[in-house]
Amino acid sequence: MNNHSISQLQSNRLRNLTNGNSLLKISLGLIFFTILSSAFVYAETMSVDVDGTDYDVDYTVSGMSVSGIESDTDFISLIISVDVTDSQGILDITFDRTFFDSVYEGVDDDFIILADGDEPTFSETETTSQSRTLSIELPAGTEEIEIIGSVFGRTIEDTPVEETPVEETPVEETPVEDTPVEETPVEDTPVEETPVEDTPVEETPVEDTPRTECGPGTILQDGVCVLDERCGPGTILQDGVCVLEPQTSTPEISTPTSTSFKGLGKELGYGLIAAFVVTGAIAIILALMSKAGKSRD
């Protein structure tokens, strides 16, 4: 009788341990699922207002989030508010050429990018006739990105070239009459050689024309200093690189109202915290159940 009671008690203990292991496996699975889901990169879209016209901007982020975007028509730039939570954040953003572009004399030019006033590492990963995509690396703690171009609302027209047919005019051939040529005897006349005197050639001194030096933001063309238009408005060319033109006074910059967009990164963070809370609650319940089983024993 005692042996039967002991064997029944051991079977109950094994059953309780099996149920506890199953719950523990489910909890661990929820934790791993939450961590993996937070590692995915989602494509998002923001809306920005430029002189009363709304444009959509597609972007993806990794290790950071984007909270808003606004335009600055005075400097032809976009100002993006970000929050870099990891040691390094990556922003991939695509601009439609009809919305925002950087060109010089009809040829693509580089964008100028500033992250909290510094120049971050970036590259242009994709370029088509309709759009341009930039990949920007941002250090931890970055709060604002400014992307400077050259034009808002550019119109791209593909005009077909019409070929004008050329009419061929027939050429009339006129017969040529052969006229006999009379040969006239040529008398040999002795040629007198006249001595040639060497006349000294006077060298005219060439005056060196002083070179005209142009100030910053201008270049020399045909001896005249003209504005250097290779950089966009508000920038000048120094050492072959377009930099911001120094301002004597800070102009009032009108910042049109833009629509802020909250990224999915914060929602994923909330989901991760909720998963840890649920897992902790399940672990506490399992511990209480195990303790109650031992108390019965």
The pLDDT value recorded for residue 185 is 62
Residue type, 17: L
The pLDDT value recorded for residue 161 is 39
The pLDDT value recorded for residue 222 is 78
User: Considering the domain boundaries, does residue 30 fall inside one?
Assistant: no
Cα distance between residue 224 and residue 211, in whole Å: 11
Cα distance between residue 134 and residue 126, in whole Å: 7
**How crowded is residue 13: how many other Cβ atoms within 10 Å of its Cβ?**
14
The pLDDT value recorded for residue 81 is 95
Q: What are phi and psi of 212, to 5 degrees?
A: -85, 125
User: Considering the domain boundaries, does residue 293 fall inside one?
Assistant: no
Q: What are phi and psi of 191, to 5 degrees?
A: -100, 125
The range of the structural domain enclosing residue 102 comes to 44-152
User: Considering the domain boundaries, does residue 94 fall inside one?
Assistant: yes
Count how many domains the chain has: 1
User: Considering the domain boundaries, does residue 187 fall inside one?
Assistant: no
**How crowded is residue 65: how many other Cβ atoms within 10 Å of its Cβ?**
21
User: Considering the domain boundaries, does residue 260 fall inside one?
Assistant: no
Q: What sign does the CA torsion over 114, 118, 119, 121 have? A: negative
Residues contacting 27, CB < 8 A, separation 6+ = 278, 279, 282, 283
Residue with tokens 């593909």: 158
User: Considering the domain boundaries, does residue 6 fall inside one?
Assistant: no
Q: How far is CA 94 from the centre of its chain?
A: 7
Over its length of 297 residues, how does the chain's per-residue pLDDT go in tens digits? Answer: 455 666 666 666 656 655 656 667 776 766 655 444 444 455 799 899 998 899 999 999 999 999 999 999 999 999 999 999 999 999 999 999 999 999 999 999 999 999 999 999 999 999 999 999 999 999 999 999 999 999 998 776 543 434 555 566 666 666 666 666 666 665 666 666 666 666 666 666 555 555 556 776 677 777 778 776 767 667 776 776 777 776 654 444 444 434 344 555 666 777 888 888 888 889 899 888 888 877 776
151-152 and 43-50 strand pairing = unpaired
User: Considering the domain boundaries, does residue 134 fall inside one?
Assistant: yes
pTM over 0.85: no
Q: Which two tokens stand for residue 266?
A: 């914060």
User: Considering the domain boundaries, does residue 158 fall inside one?
Assistant: no
The pLDDT value recorded for residue 254 is 43
The pLDDT value recorded for residue 18 is 53
